[in-house]
A and B are shown apart, each in its own frame.
Chain A
Amino acid sequence: MDANGATTSSAAGGGSSSKSSAKKNSRKPKYSRFTQQELPACKPVLTPGLVIATFTIIGIVFIPLGLVSLSASEHVVEIVDRYDDSCVPPNYSNDKLKFIQAADTNKSCVRILPVPKLMKKPIYIYYQLDNYYQNHRRYVKSRSDKQLRSKSGEKDISDCTPEDKTKDGPIVPCGLVAWSLFNDTYGFSLDSKMIKVNKHNIAWKSDKDHKFGDDVYPKNFQTGGLIGGAKLNSSLPLSEQEDLMVWMRTAALPTFRKLYGKIEEDLPANKKIQVVIQNNYNTYSFGGKKKLVLSTTSWMGGKNDFLGIAYIIVGGLCLFLAVFFILLYVIKPRPLGDPSYLSWNKSPSGQPN
């Protein structure tokens, strides 16, 4: 306000007409299509044709896509075997927790898995945990990426409580995630011939190269009072510990599968695979399930019907909407933009002109 007044009065002080005209010119805004809000614009209208066509196209595209996804999913051969209950000897069936926590019980367990169809290599071996909250806040936070990456970050354990250090020094790898490493093991044989399980390259390459350092060796791991899960071979650097890497890619959902290894040979149909499971991991205390999964893969990944079904449903709904709108259009046509629908134009008495 004030500055405004000053300029006005000073300009008026000049008083001459030339000055005031100069002022006028300078205050005149420059013309541009932007400043005048006149940029060329395309103004789409939701015409019946456009909308019906959109829905039809979505329907036509989505249903085949859904079928393709579904068939991809169908082609995946998957063997799922829940073993947490059955691998507890009958005499412990009332106190499974005691069985799993006791050090002296025999935890090995044999399972026979029939192969329903020919499984082409590579066959992925997963272990699946249910009701296991790897995404719990206390859990996800309890790790130190710096410590995993390089030796220099060894002391960086502030986030790792309560599994941060023992009396001998910082734990490497520290934190609840590493501490609770899954430790069931599986041995496969077909017709009493061992099947080789390839446990290399089961972790992400980027994890091996960058997230887990090759100069970081496990230290003080699982030596404290409480033993969580698996122990690590302290002579191998973390970049070689692929099970750990897989485990430390925390899952976002309480039901998840983690890659255990790969079988690099075809499994013929109707054969039975014998699996020797070392059932070490405690899921009994919280009622979690453990499953062993053998699965082939497709371009979509593992067996998952959801996308296929969802595509078919969405596509179907779109087609239905398209048909509905066509019917509506035929039964109850309504011209677009009829000015007679404007209530102020409806009056018969007309308008003043």
Chain B
Amino acid sequence: MKRYVYINDDESSHELYCDNRISNRKYTVLNFLPKNLWEQFSRFMNQYFLLIACLQLWSLITPVNPASTWGPLIFIFAVSASKEAWDDYNRYLSDKKANEKLVWVVRQGIRKHIQAQDIHVGNIVWLRENDEVPCDLVLIGTSDPQGLCYVETSALDGETDLKTRLIPTACMGIDFELLHKIKGVIECPNPDKDIRRFDANLRLFPPFIDNDVCPLTIKNTILQSCYLRNTEWACGVAIYTGNETKLGMSRGIPEPKLTAMDAMIDKLTGAIFVFQIVVVMVLGIAGNVWKDTEARKQWYVLYPLEGPWYELLVIPLRFELLCSIMIPISIKVSLDLVKSLYAKFIDWDSEMIDYETGIPSHATNTAISEDLGQVEYIMTDKTGTLTENRMIFRRCCISGVFYGNESGDALKDTRLLSAVAGCSTDVVQFLTVMAICNTVIPIKSKTGAILYKAQSQDEDALVNAAAQLHMVYVNKNANTLEIRFNSSVIKYEVLETLEFTSDRKRMSVVVKDCQNGKIVLLSKGADEAILPYAYDGQQTRTFIEAVEQYAQLGLRTLCLAWRELTEDEYQEWSLMFKEASSTLIDREWRIAEVCTRLEHDFEVLGVTAIEDRLQDGVPETIETLRKAGINFWMLTGDKQNTAIQIALSCNFISPEPKGQLLLIDGKTEDEVCRSLERVLLTMRITSSEPKDVAFAVDGWALEIALKHYRKAFTELAILSRTAICCRVTPSQKAQLVELLKSCDYRTLAIGDGGNDVRMIQQADIGVGISGREGLQAARAADYSIGKFRFLKRLILVHGRYSYNRTAFLSQYSFYKSLVICFIQIFFSFISGVSGTSLFNSVSLMAYNVFYTSVPVLASVLDKDLSEGTVMQHPQILFYCQAGRLLNPSTFAGWFGRSLFHAIVVFVITIHAYAYEKSEMEELSMVALSGCIWLQAFVVALETNSFTIVQHLAIWGNLVAFYVINWIFSAIPASGMYTIMFRLCRQPSYWITMFLIVAAGMGPVLALKYFRYTYRPSKINTLQQAERMGGPILTLGNIEPQQRSIEKEVSPLSISQPKSRSPTPVYEPLLSDSPNSSRRSLGSRSSSSYSRNCKDN
């Protein structure tokens, strides 16, 4: 479980641990072919095609040339294999580049320039400024006298600010030369992928220092792929190398996501497969019976009396091969092709470029665009996703005085400014905490201006605000920091930093005033983490009021506090803290415990309120998507009141008369249970009437609910369209996504920060906002967008079109294969059930691969409704959500159509080309051209908008069919020599074609017209409206709303009364509530609801 790293020991660890060779490759040159083939053949479809292709090699049973299957099969395999190979080669190249990079490593006490791949665990690696770190290192020396260095970790976690790293205390002050000879042992855990945690110990061997164990944390490490910045040099001991680094461990190929549509296509393929087996069995038996009763009498066939043992199998196998085209080999290729085009359309979309940053949207996962159109639940993060995550200090309350209430900006409040000018003690203390109780690093730029590098946007806002109030945080030099207040410089020595954790909800620093030597504890944190710890006798009522008032405005509040420490108290505590910091087990918990021993008896100084503005277009986006029938859940780590206020201001929930918010809270199981039951009851009552009921739950209650009352909570989740979950941890976010997924809902998770990554990966679709919290979420996501408002376009435009197009494409692929297959089956009845193929190999292959694939591929440009119409009538998304365009019944329609068309083509052909014209090649070409003509008209009829590309593809394809066949007819060696020329000269050929088209398309057109006009779907109605130029919409126009939080404050009765049960208010709500439209469209009835409710 542990590894012991012996520093600078050239021999010991070479065998134990791997070297620093990075390998991301999946294959090697030798195993590429077998491994790749194995992977490809692990899919059912490919196995099927391979089996068919192998059977075709048996000439006794093959109806056509084996090339007609082998060709496309090899092509498909070659394409995906070469794609894999190319990816792998690129990985190899980038690995090689990283592996062969030269680094300075100490070997036998001398610094040498060696390749990065030769670094071993225990080696000392030297880095210069702007070097990339080759493996995970524990720092032992830097150029900085205080043992500090700065790293940029953006490749690791996407955060672009500089982070400080420092050398362990044991290594402090070791001479530059001696670093080459340092010996010691580091006791560290086995490699894991947690990049925020490293609990280890270091012990240096004599003569360096006594045997003291020195604790190591993540602060003492620099991890692979970081960059060294602002530091001349640094050196460290390699602890994890190669693929065992934290980066290497966290790298992994994510599970491929399967869309609902893919699953449906697989299901339909399975059904077709079963149908095929049945057909084959029936025809096989019929064939054998016919052979024994009839064919033996037919002397010209010359059946041998005694056949080989497998004779009974021959005819069924022939039919299996003849029917194998029922499952179109082209569908996989076409789908892959169009899916990557959907993804490209997202990448290209100029309306989804964030013009502030110039970042376009990007589809990382190219395979799941259809799922976007089927989203039912959106789980959204709050900070940075709904809001801009650009914190602005707005108001504050210092010892009972509210600043900034009038102007909305405390920085312009003259009272505060005059208080600052007058050096009011409270205010100065307050500003001091604002300025230095943080982990911000001030950096002086060349122009002299001070830039702050902060990990937290809140801290950034506070420090900047303090600076504007003349409390400027000037410099941080190792443990000393300088602030300038009204031109006087004050120095503090930082003794300890008690870091922020989401459990403690506060952070503190212990500083020593360099002027008077006083030791002070400065704290800031959430109200519930600070106010209860105020010293006895302090009146915190005004602060509670302030917090509530600010929270109602949707502002983020922080309470600032301080306490003077005595020297003894500090020393005593400091020892405990040191001890806790060096434990290996439960270190975080131990530290938290020790911290609470110091953080009490605060003198609360005041409350800050920071505004996090909503992003542009958030309320409209949410409103539109809610109209589209998508349910929203907000999962945030923020506190309940703030979350509710944000939810109100962005249309997430409706204010009281229209909507109702139910709270689930409680600290114990019983309380939570009672609260949950109550809410559920109210939900059940109100679910029958249209009312916007939402519930809010906090992390604690959620934990209990998920653990003990999962069933009830699931029911609640299904009933409720909106939920607000506050104070939830990343893993709870993921759990909630999992819960909804288990109810068979399509979920989309959107977030921007590292805490959203798990939820993003868990959800069916993960969307990352490439925002200010780094790129971590965007990188883990399937889609990355710049702003929340692009979600609307992503779902309504791209998702919907993708769904519609794939629905058509996949069903059409089956349709066209079935047509030709049915014709073959019908023909077998007039050819003695012997398994003769009517069509020749070339035609069959070209039919599948070329004639019928090209026109349908153009359907990626098809738009049933214009983007504007969809945006105005987002409810239309329902058709995609409910899978109305691809399901067994639509598929049955296509199946019926293929049967009908096959009958039309076959009957007309054999009657028109009867008697003296019934020549095999001619008849087969007549039937084939009949199919091609029908295909062209079917695609044309199903196309909603014709661009030039579609016209070219559909009609050009028809022309191409003739051109290609004329070419074949001109080759004397081909079987169809002169056939096409002969046919084209016959008037009866053309007459037959027109008859086939009219007889085949007439009923289809009539049916379509009838449905279109008299039983129109909503899509049809909108199509008509938009194209007839009529009044597309009189209702439901969504105007951009300019809201500011302040104006939107509506009294909320639900925020306070935690004990009182909320009384259900029955108000007629908007009847456009998608709940009702859902029901009227009849998708999820209560029966399916109860199905979903089953034990998950």
Chain A residues with CB under 8 Å of chain B are 1-6, 8-9, 12-13, 21, 24-25, 27-31, 35-37, 39-48, 51, 54-55, 58, 62, 65, 69, 124, 126, 128, 132-140, 145, 162-163, 176, 179-180, 204, 206, 210-211, 226, 228-229, 249-259, 282, 285-287, 299-302, 304, 306-307, 310-311, 314, 317-318, 321, 325, 328, 332, 334, 336-339, 341-345, 347-353
Contacts and interface: CB of A to CB of B under 8 A. Distances in A.
Contacts of A40: 947-948
A211 B978 CA distance: 11
Nearest to B654: A352
Given A27-B358, A54-B1005, 15 more contacts: A6-B155, A24-B359, A133-B831, A135-B832, A163-B302, A176-B301, A180-B300, A287-B297, A304-B914, A307-B988, A314-B998, A341-B1018, A344-B627, A345-B1035, A349-B1070
Contacts of B358: 21, 24-25, 27-28
A137 B919 CA distance: 15
Contacts of B834: 133, 136-138
Interface centre among A12, A46, A348, A353 (most CB of B within 10 A): A46
A45 B912 contact: no
B933 to A, nearest CB: 15
Interface stretch (B182-190, B343-351, B630-638, B728-736): B343-351
B24 to A, nearest CB: 6
A215 to B, nearest CB: 16
Given A2-B24, A69-B991, A310-B999, A337 B1027 contact: yes
B382 interface: no
Nearest to B318: A137
B775 interface: yes
A20 B391 CA distance: 24
A302 to B, nearest CB: 6
Contact of A41 (B152, B775, B914, B946): B946
Interface of B: 24, 63, 90-91, 94, 130, 132, 152, 154-155, 160, 225, 227, 251, 294-295, 297-304, 318, 344-345, 347-351, 353, 357-360, 364, 627, 775, 779, 801, 827, 830-832, 834-836, 838, 861, 863, 873, 875, 908, 910-924, 944-950, 972, 975, 977-978, 982, 986-988, 991-992, 994-995, 998-999, 1002, 1005-1006, 1008-1009, 1012-1014, 1016, 1018, 1021-1028, 1030-1037, 1039, 1068, 1070-1072, 1074, 1076-1077, 1080-1081
B1013 A334 contact: yes
A35 to B, nearest CB: 4
Interface centre among B295, B353, B916, B947 (most CB of A within 10 A): B916
A226 B1028 CA distance: 75
Interface centre among A55, A332, A343 (most CB of B within 10 A): A343
Given A45-B1023, A45-B1024, A310-B908, A136 B301 contact: yes
B830 A341 contact: no
A41 to B, nearest CB: 4
A9 B154 contact: yes
Interface centre among B300, B779, B923 (most CB of A within 10 A): B300
A301 B922 CA distance: 14
A2 B251 contact: yes
B56 to A, nearest CB: 14
Contact of B995 (A1, A139, A257, A311): A311
A28 B1023 contact: no
Contact of A46 (B63, B950, B1012, B1026): B1012
A39 B1039 contact: no
Contacts of B921: 249
A13 B132 CA distance: 10
Contacts of B298: 132-133, 136, 285-286
Interface centre among A137, A257, A318 (most CB of B within 10 A): A137
B824 to A, nearest CB: 12
A299 B914 contact: no
The 10 closest A-B pairs by CB, nearest first: A337-B1024, A24-B358, A337-B1025, A347-B1071, A180-B300, A35-B348, A41-B945, A9-B155, A336-B1024, A137-B834
A349 B251 CA distance: 54
A189 B205 CA distance: 126
Contacts of A259: 916
A12 B160 contact: yes
Contacts of A30: 348
Given A138-B834, A342-B1022, A307 B912 contact: yes
A9 B1022 CA distance: 48
Contacts of B353: 28-29
A4 B349 CA distance: 20
B830 A254 contact: yes
Given A29-B360, A253-B910, A343-B1080, A42 B977 contact: no
A139 B300 contact: yes
Contacts of B345: 35, 37
B832 A136 contact: yes
A163 B299 CA distance: 12
A204 B915 contact: no
B875 A342 contact: yes
Contact of A301 (B917, B945, B1035): B917
Nearest to A11: B154
A47 B832 CA distance: 47
Nearest to B997: A58
A1 B920 contact: no
Given A3-B94, A137-B835, A286-B297, A301 B916 contact: yes
Contacts of B344: 35
A319 to B, nearest CB: 11
B916 A302 contact: yes
Contacts of B875: 342, 344
A252 B1023 contact: no
A307 B832 contact: no
Given A307-B992, A344-B1072, A299 B303 contact: no
Contact of A299 (B947, B987, B1014): B987
A317 B1036 contact: no
A299 B991 CA distance: 12
A337 to B, nearest CB: 3
A301 B861 CA distance: 44
A6 to B, nearest CB: 7
A179 B304 CA distance: 16
A345 B349 CA distance: 31
Contact of A2 (B94, B831, B992, B1009): B94
A252 B919 contact: yes
A284 B1023 CA distance: 65
Given A163-B302, A306-B911, A136 B831 contact: yes
A266 B468 CA distance: 116
Contact of B1023 (A302, A314, A328, A337): A337
Contacts of A47: 1028
Interface centre among B345, B350, B353, B364 (most CB of A within 10 A): B350
Nearest to B780: A1
Nearest to A309: B911
B844 to A, nearest CB: 16
Contacts of B1027: 43, 45, 337
A255 B914 contact: yes
Contacts of A62: 994, 998
Contacts of B1070: 347, 349, 351-352
8 contacts: A21-B358, A39-B949, A40-B947, A41-B946, A58-B998, A133-B298, A140-B836, A310-B999
Contacts of B1076: 347
A36 B946 contact: no
A5 B360 contact: no
A351 B1077 CA distance: 13
A262 to B, nearest CB: 13
A337 B301 contact: no
Contact of A43 (B349, B944, B987, B1077): B944
Given A39-B861, A257-B915, A304-B914, A46 B1009 contact: yes
Contacts of B1018: 341-343
Given A28-B353, A136-B834, A252-B924, A351 B1072 contact: yes
